[in-house]
Chains A and B, each alone.
Chain A
Amino acid sequence: MNRSALVAVIFIGIILIWAAEDMPAYGDPKAPANEYAAQMYIDRTPGDIGIDNIVTAILASYRGFDTLGEVVVILTAGISVLLLMRRGEGQ
């Protein structure tokens, strides 16, 4: 059981490191995120949403569904800790 888990972790780790090679360098001006997406958010936030904080505009409005998922992930983490630490109570 432990050995198969170790093999799985190493296998997935190799795949992730292999995939990380293809990611654009940090701050690369030719990267897709920097080429048009960032400029688009800066240009369109005042007209679309009308708030000063562009980060919040992306977080709560452009990517609101993603943020909802993040909050559900946090709730799931809390429930997991609750279940692990309170194991065996109430029996």
Chain B
Amino acid sequence: MRENVVIRTVCRLFVPFIQLFALYVIVHGASGPGGGFQGGVIFATSFILLLIAFGLPCVRGRFGRSWIRAYAACGIIIFAGVGLTCILFSGNFLEYAAIETALGIPHLQTLMIDIVEAGIGITVMAVMTSIILDFVGKEEEEPL
């Protein structure tokens, strides 16, 4: 299947659109259906499609193991960082309204929620990709 030119071409065409759609779902979380969890999983499916069409070495080469771990931690750091920033502006943990009143910028809460959603999306994307790559890596070591 990996030599099938139709599958490889279609996957190569589809992956950027899937990733763009995932980013749309994440960014759209504040104003419509969507959010970090859904968008992250959609982003991970683009890597799964790459895995099906091009095999494990291709995906590992594009999205290495250390990068996956870094991204998985990075999302939570973004989320918790936003929460701690609220404490710096003398609010409670994750109280976005405190930053909005301190800086006086209207609709800043929407931006904070988008940043939080992006953090959720990064972690979910990295963890989903990590899980599927770990399972596939195990199967390729020990063929059934």
Contacts and interface: CB of A to CB of B under 8 A. Distances in A.
Interface of A: 48-53, 55-57, 59-61, 64-65, 67-68, 71-72, 74-75, 77-78, 81-82, 85-86
Contacts of A48: 97
B51 interface: no
Is the contact region of chain B dominated by helix, strand, or loop, or is it mixed? helix
Interface string B72-91: 11011001100100000000
A56 B83 CA distance: 16
B78 to A, nearest CB: 10
B104 interface: no
B131 A78 contact: yes
Contact of B94 (A49, A51, A65): A65
Interface of B: 29-35, 72-73, 75-76, 79-80, 83, 93-94, 96-97, 107, 109-110, 113, 116-117, 119-120, 123-124, 126-128, 130-131, 134-135, 137-138
